[in-house]
Amino acid sequence: MDIKSVFKKAEDESEEIALRKERAEEIHEESIVIDGHEGTLFDLIREKRKFDEESSEGHSDLPRLRQGGVDCAIFTAFPYDRIWPIRGVKQGLEYIDKFEEIVKIPGARPVLQTSDIEEANKAGEVGIMLSFGGGEFIEGSIEALRMYYRLGVRMLTLTWNERNLLADGAGFSASRGGLTPLGFEVLEEAAKLGIIIDVSHLSEAGFWDVVDMAEAPFVASHSNCHALLPHPRNLTDGQLAAIGQSGGLVGISFNPEYLTGSDEPGTLSQVVDHILHAIEMAGEEHVGLGTDFDSFSGTGPEPLHHIGLLPLLTYELLERGLSGKVISGILGGNWLRVMRAVIG
């Protein structure tokens, strides 16, 4: 990891800024860094670029993950064929095949349990954990969920924005529909297997169903704060508080749709605004990162255009007055706690 290449010295740089950069480098290097949501697998399946080559396209690849000091990236599979029937199992197996391909690349490592991330950190590797971004993948079959677990899936987002066999998504919130009987069964089975439940994209009624029934900590892997931007995908203060009380985590997204409500990329300062508000509502141990990189077009929040520039966030958090301990938790320590509790 070459964090110093991120913090280029400016000619008119003050001693105060230089010292803050040095401290940010130190915090970033000492932390386990986890990005809880990246859409990179979709690009890799479509062969838009190669994972082991640094690209000017998209937001993430192995060289840029290493530059950004990332110890684990959660790669989320999205059911890309939205024409019914979706053929979720077929798509799921295609993603698993690509996952198995990229984790064999030197410098990458599959993450099946928390210790894999710690081992990746020691070895200077990047751990990749597989998440499925929608219950469509199981096609109504608990047996398929068990199969996916055996093949490496460790997190499941219950819905995308639409309605599926498990629940209503955020785009269907007006229906006031929550989890279906199958959705509750999946919740129970996921707890037995050791699969993290992700409520990002879920309807608000479904969210509260999970709060009432979840047997393990759950996450909103890539959601922001409704109080700062009233978007249907952003979480209310009550939801943020409930995540904290459950022992779970919210991963703050860099997606411009949830920062600015438009295609404008927004700023790193806005990302930190959402982090600070989430801390206020959920607690400092219940906020992490879920950048959503490679799930949107354009660049990331100015000036953090891709995952390789992630140390800039550490600097911004330090400048806003957060302690090294709190920053380390946001960067990945809080994700580690949830992972230990659920996947082992």
Predicted structure pTM score? 0.95
Residue-wise pLDDT tens digits, 62-78: 999 999 999 999 999 98
Amino acid sitting at position 248? G
* Contacts of 304 by beta carbon, 8 Å cutoff, 6+ apart: 254, 268, 271, 310, 312, 313
> CATH number for the domain including 39?
3.20.20.140
Residue 18 lies in a domain: no
What is the extent of the structural domain holding 66? 31-342
Task: Return the pLDDT at 243.
Answer: 98
Q: Which helix (H) or strand (E) holds 38?
A: strand 34-38
Q: Give the tokens for residue 112.
A: 């099946």
For residue 162, with 0-12 CB atoms within 10 Å meaning exposed, 13-18 middle and 19 or more buried, which class applies? Answer: middle
Question: Quick check: is 23 in a domain?
Answer: no
Residue 60 lies in a domain: yes
Residue 171: per-residue pLDDT: 76
In a domain, 111, yes or no: yes
pLDDT by residue (tens digit) across 80-92?
Answer: 776 666 788 999 9
Q: Which residue has the tokens 């991330």?
A: 117
Whether 287 is covered by a domain: the verdict is yes
- The whole-number pLDDT of residue 34 equals 98
For 9, which DSSP code? P
153 within a domain of the structure (yes/no): yes
Q: Does 25 reside within a domain?
A: no
Q: Domain total for the chain? A: 1
State how far the Cα of 162 lies from the Cα of 166, in Å rounded to an integer.
11
- Residue whose structure tokens are 């391909």: 101
Q: Detail the DSSP E strand segments found in 232-320.
A: 249-252, 287-289
User: Which residues of the chain are modeled with pLDDT < 50?
Assistant: none
206, two tokens: 């479904």
User: How many other β-carbons are positioned within 10 Å of the β-carbon of residue 34?
Assistant: 27
Find out whether 107 and 42 touch, Cβ atoms under 8 Å.
Answer: no
